[in-house]
Amino acid sequence: MSLHGDYDSQNIFAQIIRGDAPCYKLYEDDDVLAFLDVFPQSYGHSLVIPKRSAARNMLDIDSESLCKVMQVVQKITRALVDELQPAGVQVAQFNGAPAGQTVFHIHMHVIPRFAGEDLGIHASAKADAAELEALQARLVTRLKA
């Protein structure tokens, strides 16, 4: 039943939005936050979330918030392509645990894909903090260029 239910304000992304948990922030405005995934499926795996919409998934989110999220998804995609030059980019979003969702605050995955790498939907290893910091610095600089 994870497709339906109440929004849990203690979920990790809600904590990140409130500043109660850290993130490797790439971009933020009044409505949207983008940050690095700490269990990346590839180098540069990023997440984009609405800040004002307490939406678990695509069924809940209002269209205005969704449009703002997608504008930032495009911004992040362009920055990833310019900076990392992947062979492709996957934009993905899961609704409900059976579909692969593990965090119940709606989010878009932006995943650079490099030739020869597996197309998994979940990674098992946490990324190295120093590597994430270095990547964050590169992408923040690129986003400001």
Could you list the residues that contact ligand AMP (CB under 6 A)? 12, 23, 37-39, 47, 94, 100-103
| Of residues 47 and 79, the one with the C-beta less far from ligand AMP | 47
Q: Which residue is nearest to ligand AMP (CB)?
A: 39
| Of residues 27 and 94, the one with the C-beta less far from ligand AMP | 94
Least distance to ligand AMP, CB of residue 114, Å: 17
Residues catalogued as catalytic? 107
| Of residues 5 and 145, the one with the C-beta less far from ligand AMP | 5
- Determine contact, residues 2/8, Cβ cutoff 8 Å: no
Phi then psi for residue 119, to 5 deg, are -95, 70
Least distance to ligand AMP, CB of residue 30, Å: 21
The contacts of residue 16 (CB under 8 Å, 6+ apart) are 22, 23, 33, 35
**How is residue 10 annotated by DSSP?**
T
Q: What sign for the dihedral angle of Cα 29, 85, 109, 44?
A: negative
